[in-house]
Amino acid sequence: GAPLRLPLRTGSGPVLLLLLLLLVSVGSAIHDAVSGTNGTNVDPHHQSNSSGTKKPFPVLSFNYDHVRMPFEISLWILLALLMKLGFHIIPRVSHVVPESCLLIVVGLLVGGFIKAIGEEAPILDSKLFFLYLLPPIILDAGYFLPIRAFTENMGTILVFAVVGTLWNSFFIGGMMYGVCQIESAQLGAVDLLSCLHFGCIISAVDPVAVLAVFEEIHIHELLYILVFGESLLNDAVTVVLYHLFEEFSHAGTVTVGDAFLGVICFFVVSLGGIMVGAIYGLLGAFTSRFTSHTRVIEPLFVFLYSYMAYLSAEVFHLSGIMSLIACGVMMRPYVEANISHKSYTTIKYFLKMWSSVSETLIFIFLGVSTVAGPHAWNWTFVIFTVIICLVSRVLGVIGLTYVINKFRIVKLTKKDQFIVAYGGLRGAIAFSLGFLLTNSQVKHMFLTAIITVIFFTVFVQGMTIRPLVELLAVKRKKESKRSINEEIHTQFLDHLLTGIEGICGHYGHHHWKDKLNRFNKTYVKRWLIAGDRSTEPQLISFYNKLEMKQAIMLVESGSGAKLPTTVSAISMQNVQPKEAPRQRVIPTISKSREQEIRKILRANLQNTRQRLRSYSRHDLMIDPFEDNMSEIRFRRQKVEMQRRMSHYLTVPANRQETPPVRKVCFEPEHQVYNYDAIAIESPRGRDSRPTPSSPNDVSLLNESPQKPNQSSTTRAAGDVELRVKTEDEQEEQDQLKLSRCLSDPGPNQEGEGGSSFRS
Amino acid sequence: MGALQSAPGQPEYTDLAEKTGFSFEQIAVLHKRFKQLSHNEETLRRDHFEKIPDLACNPIRAQIIGAFFDKRNYRQNGEGSVEEIGFEEFLVVMSHFRPPSMHFTEEQREGIRREKLRFLFNMHDTDNDGTITLEEYRHVVEELLSRSGALGKETAKSIADAAMLEVASISMGHMEPDEFYEGITFEHFLKLLDGFEIESKMNIRFLNMDTATMFKSKPMDGNEFSSAYIKFSIPSIQQVSPKVNAPFRE
């Protein structure tokens, strides 16, 4: 970002690094000092009491123990965030290397540094990881999961997640056992069960790593949801297999009954996790129905219910990740209908913030733990692990795709398969699971291998996936925003396909989806959504949301830049059918009057802008995931002028005026013509008439509704005779009313208007 | 065309298969369904469609039924509507919902896209004049929102107007204040739904249909559902080893 540019760019990265190392060393030094002088803090006090000698009152005392824990935690988080900041200031590096790699490198450096000064480096504690670092990331992903894509590809995702992970585990485990049998490797101590255990730990695709890498390459939604969905849903398989093998390794023997129980366990774990999540989600939705008077705590309900869902699932050894996802998915449609817009923004931002911090911390700790942990390096084992992981992934994807394609309408191409296989990254979950193994020499070897695989996937695959995506010309994410036309047609298509299925007598996909929707509408929504919104159809909510977004963008981009100028608008008058054939006014008069109107509007606009800036700045936040400032500014101007133009220059008498606001959907390209001193809109903006009954609308300019007034006598510049249409009169009425509303005398309006009218 | 024998043999189907691209099994299954719907008559009329219970709660029912009787969908460049249709027309309309095969070239996919979008366009353009006017578009949105009562009427208008403006902006760039945008032509419609990927979305799985068990005039109960589901989910042999070469076999 341009606004964030610091004076020195190239030197700041290393400077920050040094600064952080300094901070860390300070922390450690303090730690040393404390442990050295622990007793002495208390002693002087006692001594002074017992001996009677008067010591001067300690103006400045030192008590580090008191705040040690939060201090160190904050220091680490600060380190993580400063690093993140640093990377984005050095643009060249961040284009080539994904953030996760850089963070691991930083972790390595910090770990090395800590070890160098003789301290004991902290290790990524499994409890810390699973209870505190992982849930925000999963919740963020689950809450904003693209539901449509997810459910449409659910079958594929499930096959990859379940069957794929099973295949990976057993293949890797089996092959590694075979490798261990090789005499020269001296790995005879490793038995089959341990190998299988190892296999199941290393086989799961990691959601954190996938998110970290895929977010930067912006591929097609289908591929993203396939890999990401797989990484989420394979948690159940991983959990079951892990505990299964753990039990077996304690028990020593495996029977068929045990295997059968394992299968049952899988269903219990996954379905149970989903159920727990769904229950909490419904509770959360229900609670949000009553929060209309205490808006401030609304976001907390979302976070807490989700976290409780995760913890409750973990209590029973169910799949916490699936529970969290289910909770978020279940809760979201109802909660969003109930909460205020500010709460929605808060939720979005907090989730992004927490997940960002978590992710950063995880990668840094991975780096630190690598340096810290006891390692047992065995060339054969490690190399073979890496190779076999890759091979197994590729084989798994190809084999499964072959089967899946028989059932899919949109088949997966070779390119898709390659990306899915290549995107199977391993991450911190594998490391933490490995860390939970019981201590033994074998464990250290396993951990080393796991770390190597993680590093390999994150560094090699993570770094090369972007150029490969470009090389293979894989389809990228659609850049355009969702427009109202697409929404209309999506719904239309849904109904159409359901209808056709009904005609064919074929109860397929769409039929059941339609049934679910109807059930949702009739029963569930009534319980979970407060007030009128429960009966609001989806198209209308979509439309309202869109308008709200545009309204906010309009307000937010309020800092004045030079208004660009364009030619005429496409407004309602272009689209609205006319009742009677228009009488063309003499073009010269029309144009000049337009000029006047535009001048006046510009003046008013500037006043309005000032007003807006003072009123709304503290309420709303700019969405950093939207476009950058300059584009927002331009759009705002477009929007504003378009709105005004269409508001004034249009339309037959029966139009209803309601508090005006918004635009819908912009295209990024625009054409700017130097026509006038005043900005009108650009080709692609368009007007929309607001809905009369939308409680969440932001009414920016509280203009009073203006009635079209047909009488010509009330015109201010009454001394001119014109052949005018009703619309021209209305224009003037409106612009006068507007100026009155804004308490702006409208500089020389009448004088200018009068003089130009005469021409 | 015309009367089909009650037990059509392969020669009849070959003709249809070539025309529509369905496989023989699919045609047989659809033929069974046709006969069920028409109560073994030769032609279907609108009231036959209206009797289908599953369609009853569909907001755009009238337009779907209308599409079957619309001559523009028969790929013969006809216009206007008919009162009854035979099996061939039924099949031709259904063939708009076939997914594109994986082996299609980019051109063929583009052709399929145009065809599907043309179908949608015809559904919107009820007066056959080649453009979707504001009134027609408003009607579309009103139908979509028709289940929401009074709340829908006004909002439907606003939504339709907004959508229309968007189309105008995308297609025309900019216009003078006194120009009038007549309506959405087919080319504009194509441009509008350019990113929509309709060839992946507008598809029905014809593969595993077995109407003998699937068709019910009342909702299925548990037994039927499970048996139908099993039949439905086993990959059918229909798609393997064609008996006769059909050009666009899936």
Tokens at A201, concatenated: 């730990």
In this predicted model, what pLDDT tens digit does every residue of A495-509 receive, in sequence order? 888 888 888 777 777
Distance CA A529, CA B144 (A): 22
Please name the member of A497, A508, A575 whose beta carbon is closest to the beta carbon of B164: A575
Question: Which whole number is the average pLDDT over A197-223?
Answer: 86
Q: Are residues B205 and A508, on separate chains, in Cβ contact within 8 Å?
A: yes
How does residue A390 score in pLDDT terms, banded at 50, 70 and 90? very high
Q: What mean pLDDT, rounded, does chain A reach?
A: 72
Q: Per-residue pLDDT for A669 more than 80?
A: no
More confident of the two residues A572 and A370:
A370
Q: Per-residue pLDDT for A41 more than 50?
A: no
- The H-or-E segment that residue B73 falls in is none
Q: Per-residue pLDDT for A397 more than 90?
A: yes
Question: Which whole number is the average pLDDT over A305-330?
Answer: 92
Q: Are residues B97 and A497, on separate chains, in Cβ contact within 8 Å?
A: yes
Q: Which domains does chain B have, with CATH numbers?
A: 12-96 (1.10.238.10)
Q: Per-residue pLDDT for A277 more than 90?
A: yes
Q: Per-residue pLDDT for B229 more than 50?
A: no
Q: Per-residue pLDDT for B198 more than 60?
A: yes
Chain A CB contacts of B206 under 8 Å are 504, 506
Best residue in B117, B120, B166, B213 for a mutation probing chain A (most A CBs within 10 Å): B166
Question: Which whole number is the average pLDDT over A531-555?
Answer: 73
Distance CA A518, CA A94 (A): 47
In this predicted model, what pLDDT tens digit does every residue of A280-296 receive, in sequence order? 999 999 988 888 888 88
Q: Per-residue pLDDT for A438 more than 70?
A: yes
Please name the member of A484, A486, A568 whose beta carbon is closest to the beta carbon of B162: A484
A255–chain B nearest CA distance, Å: 31
Q: Per-residue pLDDT for A681 more than 90?
A: no
Task: For domain A126-472, give the fold.
Answer: Na+/H+ antiporter like fold (1.20.1530)
Cα nearest neighbour of A404 on chain B: B235
Residues 373-432 of A with CB under 8 A from B: 405-407, 409-411, 413
Q: Within 10 Å of residue A627's Cβ, how many Cβ atoms?
A: 16
In this predicted model, what pLDDT tens digit does every residue of B34-71 receive, in sequence order? 888 888 888 888 888 888 887 888 888 888 888 888 87
Residues 663-702 of A with CB under 8 A from B: 664-665, 667, 671, 682-693
Predicted TM-score (pTM) of the model is 0.69
In this predicted model, what pLDDT tens digit does every residue of A605-621 receive, in sequence order? 655 554 444 443 444 44
Give pLDDT, residue A291: 84
Share of chain A above pLDDT 90, in %: 11
Question: Which whole number is the average pLDDT over A632-637?
Answer: 60
More confident of the two residues B4 and B194:
B194
More confident of the two residues A116 and A561:
A116
Distance CA A332, CA A396 (A): 34
Chains A & B: contacts with CB separation below 8 Å:
217
Q: Are residues B168 and A691, on separate chains, in Cβ contact within 8 Å?
A: no
Question: Which whole number is the average pLDDT over A137-146?
Answer: 89
What ipTM was reported for this prediction?
0.80
Contact in structure between A323 and A268 (CB atoms under 8 Å): no
Q: What is the DSSP string of B154-199?
A: HHHHHHHHHHHHHHHHHHHS---TT-----EEHHHHHHHTGGG-HH
Please state which of the ranges A228-232, A456-460, A648-652, B116-120 shows the lowest mean pLDDT: A648-652
Stretch(es) of chain A classified as CATH 1.20.1530: 126-472
Question: Which whole number is the average pLDDT over A472-498?
Answer: 78
Share of chain B above pLDDT 90, in %: 0
Chain B CB contacts of A495 under 8 Å are 58-60, 144
Cα nearest neighbour of A584 on chain B: B178
Q: Are residues B155 and A543, on separate chains, in Cβ contact within 8 Å?
A: yes
Please name the member of B202, B209, B239 whose beta carbon is closest to the beta carbon of A493: B202
Q: Are residues B33 and A498, on separate chains, in Cβ contact within 8 Å?
A: no
In this predicted model, what pLDDT tens digit does every residue of A687-719 receive, in sequence order? 433 334 333 433 333 333 434 343 333 343 333
More confident of the two residues A734 and A665:
A734
Q: Are residues A496 and B175, on separate chains, in Cβ contact within 8 Å?
A: no
Q: Are residues B58 and A569, on separate chains, in Cβ contact within 8 Å?
A: no
A689–chain B nearest CA distance, Å: 5
In this predicted model, what pLDDT tens digit does every residue of A248-265 receive, in sequence order? 777 766 778 888 888 898
Q: Per-residue pLDDT for A727 more than 50?
A: no
Contact in structure between A361 and A122 (CB atoms under 8 Å): no
A697–chain B nearest CA distance, Å: 14
Give pLDDT, residue A616: 39
Tokens at A628, concatenated: 């950058």
Please state which of the ranges A119-128, A482-491, A736-745, B121-130 shows the lowest mean pLDDT: A736-745
Q: Are residues A504 and B94, on separate chains, in Cβ contact within 8 Å?
A: yes
Q: Cα separations (Å) of A562 from A174, A550, A612, A634, A678? A: 68, 20, 17, 9, 10
Give pLDDT, residue A393: 93
Q: Are residues A483 and B215, on separate chains, in Cβ contact within 8 Å?
A: no
Q: What is the DSSP string of A678-733?
A: S----TT--B-PPPS--TT----S-PPP------STT-SSTT------HHHHHHHH
Q: Per-residue pLDDT for A191 more than 60?
A: yes
In this predicted model, what pLDDT tens digit does every residue of A356-386 receive, in sequence order? 899 888 888 888 888 877 777 888 888 888 9
What phi and psi, each to the nearest 5 degrees, are found at residue A436?
-75, -10
The reply to whether A526 touches chain B by the CB within 8 Å rule is no
Give pLDDT, residue A19: 62
Residue in the structure block whose two tokens are 């979302």: A302
Chain A CB contacts of B70 under 8 Å are none
Q: Per-residue pLDDT for B221 more than 60?
A: no
Cα nearest neighbour of B96 on chain A: A500
Please state which of the ranges A48-57, A76-85, A111-120 shows the lowest mean pLDDT: A48-57
Provide the b/e sequence for B91-109 (b: ≥16 CB within 10 Å): bbbbbbbbbbeeeeeeeee
Q: What is the DSSP string of B9-32?
A: -HHHHHHHHHHH---HHHHHHHHH
Q: Are residues B159 and A693, on separate chains, in Cβ contact within 8 Å?
A: no
Question: Which whole number is the average pLDDT over A137-164?
Answer: 89
